[in-house]
């Protein structure tokens, strides 16, 4: 997976937020020659943008010392939360550990 950070949004303020990370999709050779990137924007749709609106994100930084961490709060319906807790109990893990495993399995992030 390739991720890009938005560095400008002139003309696209509703679709792009400066500083926000966006997932990219493959582009054609013609689109790449025209310096275009296909990004899933704030509307959840993929759209072609000029590559100068973005900078690459080095996901190796995720696991570097001092890279910092941030909390994420997830609101679940009571039944889903109970099922997650039951799964965690059965695996002798915390619910947080199960969620972290799910993220690690599904995102193409570097190994810790």
Q: Hey, what are 23's tokens?
A: 């997932």
- Within a domain: 45: yes
Residues 54 and 15 both lie in one domain: yes
- Beta strand 46-50 with 54-56 is unpaired
Q: What range defines the domain where residue 76 resides?
A: 70-106
Whether residues 25 and 51 fall in one domain:
yes
Same-domain status, 43 and 78: no
Q: What is residue 94's predicted lDDT score, i.e. its pLDDT?
A: 87
Q: Which residues pair with 6 in a beta bridge?
A: 54
The pTM is what? 0.64
Return the pLDDT at 104: 79
Query: What's the confidence (pLDDT) of residue 17?
Result: 95
Report yes or no on 64 lying in a domain: no
Would 44 be classed as within a structural domain?
yes
Regions of the chain where pLDDT drops below 50: none
| Confidence at residue 83, expressed as pLDDT on a 0 to 100 scale | 85
Q: pLDDT by residue (tens digit) across 47-72? A: 999 999 999 987 776 555 555 667 77
């Amino acid at each position: 997976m390739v991720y890009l950070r938005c560095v400008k949004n002139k003309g696209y303020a509703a679709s792009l937020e400066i500083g926000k990370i966006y997932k990219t999709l493959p582009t054609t050779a013609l689109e790449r020659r025209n310096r275009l990137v296909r990004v899933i924007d704030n509307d959840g749709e993929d759209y072609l943008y000029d590559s100068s609106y973005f900078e690459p994100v080095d996901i190796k930084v995720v696991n570097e010392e001092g890279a910092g961490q941030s909390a994420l709060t997830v609101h679940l319906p009571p039944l889903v939360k109970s099922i997650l807790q039951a799964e965690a109990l059965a695996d002798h893990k915390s619910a947080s550990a199960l969620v972290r495993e799910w993220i690690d399995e599904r995102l193409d992030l570097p190994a810790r």
